[in-house]
Structure formats: C-alpha cells, structure tokens
Amino acid sequence: MRVASLHIHPVKAMRAVDLTRARVEPRGFEHDRRWMVVDGHGKFMTQRGRPKLATVSAAVTPAGLALSVEGGGSIEAARPGGAERRDVVVWDAAVSAACAPEASAFLSGLLGEEAHLVFMDDKAQRLKESVWTASPAPVSFADAYPILVTSTGSLAALNRDIEAHGGAPVPMARFRPNIVVECDEDWPEDNWRKLKIGDVELDLVKPCDRCIVTLTDQRTGARESKEPIAALARIHRSTDPRIKGVIFGMNAVPRALGEIAVGDSVEAF
C-alpha cells in the first residue's frame, strides 16, 4: 500500500489544501486546523450549520493566512502575536486562542452574522481525553483526534453502492481526510490498528462517525443529495455500541513523528 494523497485544512471547516509532503506533529499535520471561525460567543462554526464555509479557500503564508472566495473578495490575516485572546469552545473543550481581528469584517459579511478568526498558538492547549486512548492526546481544532485516515478501497466500495442505487459517485474530499491510503480492499481500515509510514507511526484509535458535512459539496457548499449518508446507512453502519450511526475512515493519534510524502509505502498492523 502507498500514500495516495495528503491534505490539510488550515482553517477548520474551510477548503482543503492538497500536499505532496506533510510534517506530522503531536497535534496532527503541521498547519492543519490551527485556525478556526467562531461566533460572537466564541463557539466554533462548521459546515454543519454554515455550509458556505466550504466556499472559502485558506492558504498558509509566511506572515499568516490568506482567505479568498471566488467572486467574493479576499483578505490576509497576520499570525497573531497572542496578546489579544478569546476563550473559544470546540465541542466540550474550552481553549484560550489568539485573535486575528482583521478577518472579522470579511467573515461576518460572508456569513451574515458575527464571526471571528482565531489561531491556536503555543499557548492554546487542547487535550482529547476519551475511552479510545490510554492517555490524553494533544489535538488541534479538529473535531476529535489529530489525524484522519481513509482509503481508496473504501471510497470505491461506497461509490459502487451509490451508483447501484442510481446516484452519482462522491469524491474523497467529502470526508475531509488528512491521509488517503491507496488500497484495493473494501473497508480495510476497519481492521487496522496501527500504520507505519517511514519513521512515522500512527495509532488508529476510533472509527470516524459521519454527519451532514459529507452531504456538502466542498466547492459550492450545496447539499443536493442524501449521499453518501444513505449508502453508508445501507452498507457501513457502526457495529460498536459506543458509536452511533454510520462510519467512514479512522481517527489516528501519532506515536512517532516525522515527515511523510505522497507515494510513501504504508504498512498496516
């Protein structure tokens, strides 16, 4: 097996950036989900309630971050020094994040409500505690765990079912992974517990349960079909009582850090 593709999402809920090489850090890929949009109360915003976030491109720059929307303008935000901070909430986690105030007007205008951009600097700490890991894991603004792994085999199995029921196949971008493994087997990650890619080692700790975000076109923000949720409900529901609903991909925690690249060999255990 080999690494088929690598991806980061510099801002949680915005478009992915495709990479040829990625550095694995304790909180996940370098630059992945280190920025986030929050409302006036400091609560995180995602495509679940604001699918328009899918239309925003975010690029990491030497100075910070560049945001743009096709036909909707652009703005650059400097990486915050950290003096101005905001208490924000990601699910059940409270984080003291650095503020990037220059993006507030741009994001508020785009979303039609008060919105602010925050950054996870070295002072912003978030630990994920769960029954799935032996010890708390440092994590970015990602939903749950540092890295998300999927496989081409699972996407092929899913799309066969979608097409058999008259639907159009969906791209891997719907699942917003970090690492896509090239593999012909159907649902191989269900049986993986560890991956080794060069010097990097990942513990695969929890299947990823899926929500309405997978219905969202990652270019337009439109939701025009019940796929892939309908197909997953037919063929890939969770069998673990601790996880309700449908699953696709595996959440991972780094055990050994380093760099990985597209084309690297992948060993699964």
Pick the closest to residue 43 from 88, 110, 108 (CA basis): 88
Instruction: For residue 168, give the nearest of 231, 83, 113 by alpha carbon.
Output: 231
Per-residue pLDDT of the chain (269 residues; tens, 9 = 90+): 999 999 999 999 999 999 999 999 999 999 999 999 999 999 999 999 999 999 999 999 999 999 999 998 999 999 999 999 999 999 999 999 999 999 999 999 999 999 999 999 999 999 988 889 888 999 999 999 999 999 999 999 999 999 999 999 999 999 999 999 999 999 999 999 999 999 999 999 999 999 999 999 999 999 999 999 999 999 999 999 999 999 999 999 999 999 999 999 999 99
* 23 membership: H or E segment, kind and range: strand 21-25
- Go through the domains of the chain in sequence order and give each one's CATH number: 2-28+129-268 (2.40.33.20), 34-124 (no CATH)
* Rounded-to-integer distance, Cα 206 and Cα 9, Å: 20
pTM of the model: 0.97
Q: What are phi and psi of 164, to 5 degrees?
A: -65, -25
